[in-house]
Amino acid sequence: MRIVLLGAPGSGKGTQAARMVEALGLPHISTGVLLRAAVAANSPLGQAAKAVMDRGELVSDDIMLGLIGERLSESDVARGFILDGYPRNLAQAAALDEVLKRLKQPVEIALQIDVNEEEVVQRIAGRAAAEGRSDDTEEVVRNRMRVYAEQTAPVADYYAEKGLLTRIHGQGSVDEVFQRIMFALQSGFASKSGSD
């Protein structure tokens, strides 16, 4: 399965991705995780990305394409993947399609986890305390939400137009949301193999 996971900051995307990885045994490709590792290693890429991330803005498409292109060329990707945090705008969505077309591994399903804003703010406040992330202050969170609404939300429409989008109701417990995801994956892939 080649899955793109979409959702606002604090939608539970990362938590659900971890559960999916456990259940499905697919590689988890999180651009946030890759970037934070680069920052921690103080690599040139990490140095370029840190200030942008700390403001809650998007790291440049060029840098991101290099990062994701490299990761997607690793051999484990042949088993499928769960892509988390990429694409974040329409240009990245188009670039991803190109890379995956070359690899003959196109996206099969995009799952969008929908939550309301109040719930998101509460979750992020909890995560900031638990993980001490430097991009989880209130002002930065507000900026990340704005960037999401302006640049990332249209990515869902991009996949909807291709007939690849499934929306997941994201309120409720981690288990409840996870069950909805697994159900959506089963139905999505069952209907596909039925029509082949």
Catalytic positions are 13, 88, 127, 133, 144
Rounded to an integer, what distance in angstroms lies between the CA atom of residue 155 and that of residue 146? 15
Structure tokens at 177: 């949301």
CB closer to ligand AMP, 119 vs 188: 119
Give the sheet arrangement for strand 109-114, strand by strand. 28-30, 81-84, 2-7, 109-114, 165-169
Q: Which residue is nearest to ligand AMP (CB)?
A: 32
Q: How far is the CB of 61 from ligand AMP (least distance, A)?
A: 7
CB closer to ligand AMP, 139 vs 183: 139
Q: How far is the CB of 67 from ligand AMP (least distance, A)?
A: 8
Rounded to an integer, what distance in angstroms lies between the CA atom of residue 135 and that of residue 143? 10
Cβ-contact 31, 67 below 8 angstroms: yes
Q: How far is the CB of 128 from ligand AMP (least distance, A)?
A: 12
Q: How far is the CB of 190 from ligand AMP (least distance, A)?
A: 30
CB closer to ligand AMP, 15 vs 105: 15
Q: Which residues bind ligand AMP (CB under 6 A)?
A: 9, 31-32, 35, 52-53, 56-59, 64, 85-86, 88, 92, 135, 144
Rounded to an integer, what distance in angstroms lies between the CA atom of residue 3 and that of residue 85? 12
Per DSSP, what are the bridge partners of residue 167? 112
CB closer to ligand AMP, 154 vs 183: 154
Q: How far is the CB of 55 from ligand AMP (least distance, A)?
A: 8
Name which of 38, 40, 23, 28 is nearest 3 in CA terms. 28
Q: How many CB atoms lie within 10 A of CB 22?
A: 11
Cβ-contact 31, 86 below 8 angstroms: yes
Strands 165-169 and 81-84, how do they pair?
A: unpaired
CB closer to ligand AMP, 11 vs 166: 11
